[in-house]
Amino acid sequence: MTTTAGPDQARIRAAVVELLKAIGDDPTRDGLADTPRRIAEMYAEIFEGLFYDPREHLRVGFEVAHDEMVILRNIPFYSMCEHHFLPFHGEAHVGYIPDGRVVGISKLARVVEGYARRPQIQEQLTSQIAEAIQDVLQPDGVAVVIEAEHLCMTMRGIKKPGSRMVTSAMRGDFKNSHVTRAEFLSLVHGHH
């Protein structure tokens, strides 16, 4: 999605110069000279979700007589842990049961991107995706499962590489029916 607004590049550049000084490095040395600019441009990209509403991706739908589960699984994503400003990354699995209205399947991945590209925690990322689909499409149910590795737990701190956090958000039929939820989970996890 094209965005007009974005983060304050000059302010990020100045902050990165300060940060480099504060960690005891020399921001004027060759290798670091362009680093403030690079980080400012990178933040514009990885935090672009702060500058638009991911729900907009779901506005263009179409009427289809399909009232069974639709799933997009293994959607890779990268987000930033808001506690440590380190990445967490993994896969999202998104399903819904249309009530007469469906969206282009790429839009589910775009919603994941829109909420991932912000300072985040995984629980909130999971529920924001579910809420957006529930609110805009008003389907009979929505299911979101996210599995991710947090670099704040692997490269620092407790240092447990390979551990993965799993979160889920279930709405409507997925919350109310064991059978529907089990079907979703077996479709998502059954064929790795």
Ligand X SMILES: Nc1nc2c(ncn2[C@@H]2O[C@H](COP(=O)(O)OP(=O)(O)OP(=O)(O)O)[C@@H](O)[C@H]2O)c(=O)[nH]1
- Among residues 45, 82, 123, 189, the one annotated as catalytic is 82
> Is 189 marked active-site?
no
Q: How far is the CB of 100 from Zn ion (least distance, A)?
A: 41
Q: Which residues of 38-58 are buried (b: 16+ CB within 10 A; e: fewer)?
A: ebbeebbeebbbebbebbebb
> Is 57 marked active-site?
no
> Is 9 marked active-site?
no
Angular region, 157: left φ>0, alpha ψ -120 to 50, beta rest: left
> From CA 88, how far away is CA 101, in angstroms rounded?
33
152 vs 187 by CB, closer to ligand X: 152
- Among residues 18, 83, 123, 138, the one annotated as catalytic is 83
Query: Are the C-beta atoms of residues 164 and 147 closer than 8 Å to each other?
Result: yes
Q: How far is the CB of 85 from Zn ion (least distance, A)?
A: 8
- Among residues 48, 81, 93, 120, the one annotated as catalytic is 81
81 vs 94 by CB, closer to Zn ion: 81
Q: Confirm or reject binding of residue 125 to Zn ion (CB under 5 A).
A: no
Q: How far is the CB of 117 from ligand X (least distance, A)?
A: 15
Residue from 44, 121, 152, 185 touching Zn ion (CB under 5 A): that is: 152
Nearest to 114 by CA among 186, 55, 166: 55
As a 3-state breakdown, the chain gives helix, strand, coil percent values, each rounded to 5, of 45, 25, 30
Active-site amino acid positions = 81-84, 122, 150, 152
Report the binding-site residues for Zn(2+).
Answer: 81, 84, 152
